[in-house]
Chain A
Amino acid sequence: MPDFMRHMLVIVAPLVAAFAILPGVYDNHLLLFNFVIFLILAQGVNIIYGFTGYLPFGYVGFFGAGAYGFAIAVMHLHTPAPVAVLAAGAVGVLLGLLLTPLLRLSGAYFAIANLAAALAVLHFVANPALEQITKGPYGVALNGTFNPTLAYTGAVIILTLTLAFVVFLKNSSFGLALQAVREDAVSAAMAGVNVVRMRVIAWLASALVAGLAGGVFAWYVSVFYPDNVFSNDFSIFAIVFALFGGVATITGPIVGVVILYGIYNLIGFTTPQYFQLIYGVLIMALVLFLPAGLVSLATRRGWNVP
């Protein structure tokens, strides 16, 4: 699979190398960490939305569940942090399995049901009756595992694996079949594709990615409340970043995160009013003129964007 190796070398390797080196030359490590988290989440949205067409408006549900999966593994099972991150991924997948019936819905109905599901998980976790297990609304403090340097490394590893999976989707008949399902499920079945199984695999892969991201996020910040890790800003940012760059590509979500999250950090804190104005205008312009994202500027000209 020569294209697979080429995409890994040309796109994934430089990006990962940059995020491996940057902490040595740039002091705002939290910002770098957040970049990595959004790169992961935007690719997670890419997997489910770009390749299957399901818009996960409650994507943060998996992220928050992962964060709490990490916290519970550390607090109650006393596992080492890396194992707890894996547990977070497993929690994401379990929640994904629980929510597979949502895949019977389509379009806006799926998006709304997914949003509702994320809220349900939030209120479940934040329920004071579960204080013994989740610490309810009072938040968790995981002092024992606090290690931002290692957590950052973990996040970069998860980013690498996520990108490798997207590169695989982009270059395999598996990814092609997923896109076929997105385009027309009946025709995909007539090409011999098991539509239900493909959707479930993509859905669970996407849930795994968000669960792992949530776990590593919990590791990094170590103190958080349900409202932090279930904030729907995560869903919206990840979706907007992915759409802005262009889904069903490897580079689109990366470009989206770098540009939009870059702008957000340049002006979002200093002059929030301008930020909101610029953000709003950018998103409207995108929807009106470039619904397929920035990469469509190139694909319209017939250039193949990986």
Chain B
Amino acid sequence: MSPEPAPILAVNGLVKRFGGFHALDGVSFHVSAGEILGLVGPNGSGKTTTINVISGLYAPDGGTLTYDGASIGGLASHKLVHRGINRTFQIPKPFLSLTVRQNVEVALAYGRAEIAPPRLSDLLEQYHLADLADRPAADLNSSQQKMLDLVRALATRPRLLLLDELAAGLNPTELDWIAGHVRALAQSGLAIIVVEHLMGFIEQITDRVIVMNAGKDIFEGPLAVAVKVPQVIEVFLGGDHGV
């Protein structure tokens, strides 16, 4: 195993409560530049909550988030964006009445990318949105809106990118195509965390997965190993399958 670079993000004992419910109950993991980390687990295990806390939508109730050597727990989203963290949403959230081009222009103008961001026309071309540039985002279908979410995130030139179910709802051709793009982004040096239910997609792009259950991380390692661990099988299929 090659020596691992220092992680860009280290999550340590992260806790998030909603009232009496512990959505996150001590999650710990880390991700390094150039790496694609998968977050998997059954519904309600806290994957999206983890992403929401990292991207500043919720402030953590406990534990630490260390990004680039600095503590970022509880910082406002736009400040995290300026530091190089961005994300997409499970249900895409474009600015519906603005055109595709304007959607990205906002991010280009306010993202404060440290390095010059990619050109708008290149981004739209790469993610098959160039022909739709002057249409309102409301006219896009849901997979196009997901791509627009991704393009908006990339326009801020992130160093840590969180993808929340990017693949859900894409057809097999689109899946291969977007998998290629995500791998290329990682190769260019981005750290990427992928929340996903599609195991094929996870297997195709991730180096390592964290399996979550009930707000805790219960496994860390390659997906191929994860599927052989009894504890993981239990949370996915229920107990007593006699494996």
Is the beta-carbon distance between A193 and B93 smaller than 8 angstroms? no
- CB 8 Å contact bits of B77-89 with A (1 = contact, 0 = none): 1100110001101
Listed by A's residue number, 6 A-B pairs whose Cβ atoms lie within 8 Å are: A176-B106, A176-B109, A179-B102, A184-B93, A192-B110, A194-B78
CA–CA, A192 and B106, complex, Å: 8
Interface size class of B (residues with CB under 8 A): 20 to 34
When the two chains form their complex, are residues A190 and B55 in contact, meaning their CB atoms are under 8 A apart? yes
What is the minimal beta-carbon distance from B162 to any residue of chain A, in angstroms?
10
Q: How far is the CA of A177 from the CA of B57 in the complex (A)?
A: 19
Mark A175-212 against chain B: 1 for CB-CB distance below 8 A, else 0.
01101100110111111111100000000000000000
B209 contacts the other chain (CB 8 A)? no
> In the complex, what distance in Å separates the CA atom of A189 from the CA atom of B93?
12
Sample of 11 more A-B contacts, CB < 8 Å, known A189-B81, A190-B153 = A173-B105, A176-B98, A176-B102, A177-B110, A183-B98, A186-B93, A187-B89, A191-B81, A191-B107, A192-B81, A192-B112
A193 / chain B contacts, CB cutoff of 8 Å: 78, 106, 110
Interface contact B109-A173, CB-CB below 8 Å: yes
Partner-A contacts on B (CB < 8 A): 55-57, 76-78, 81-82, 86-87, 89, 93-98, 102-103, 105-107, 109-112, 149, 152-153, 155-156
Contacts of B95 in A (CB 8 A): 179-180, 183-184, 187-188
Q: Which residues of B contact A179 (CB under 8 A)?
A: 95, 97-98, 102
Alpha-carbon gap, A177 to B155, bound state (A): 15
Question: Inside 8 A of B96's CB, which chain A residues have their CB?
Answer: 183-184
- CB-CB under 8 A from B112, the residues of chain A are 192
In the complex, chain B residues whose CB is within 8 Å of the CB of A173 = 105-106, 109-110
A5 vs B86: C-alpha distance when bound (angstroms): 36
Give the distance to chain B from A297, nearest Cβ to Cβ, in Å: 16
Output the residue of B81, B95, B107 with the most chain A CB within 10 A: B95
A247 smallest CB distance to B (angstroms) = 11
CB closest chain-B residue, reference A174: B109
Given A176-B98, A186-B77, residue A191 in contact with residue B152 (CB < 8 A): yes
Q: Which residue of B lies closest to A195 (CB)?
A: B78
Do A191 and B97 touch (CB < 8 A)? no
Q: Check if A183 sits within 8 Å of B102, measured CB to CB.
A: no
Mask of A241-284 contacts with B, CB within 8 angstroms, 1/0: 00000001000000000000000000000000000000000000
Question: 8 closest Cβ contacts across the A-B interface?
Answer: A173-B109, A189-B77, A183-B95, A192-B110, A191-B107, A192-B111, A187-B93, A192-B81
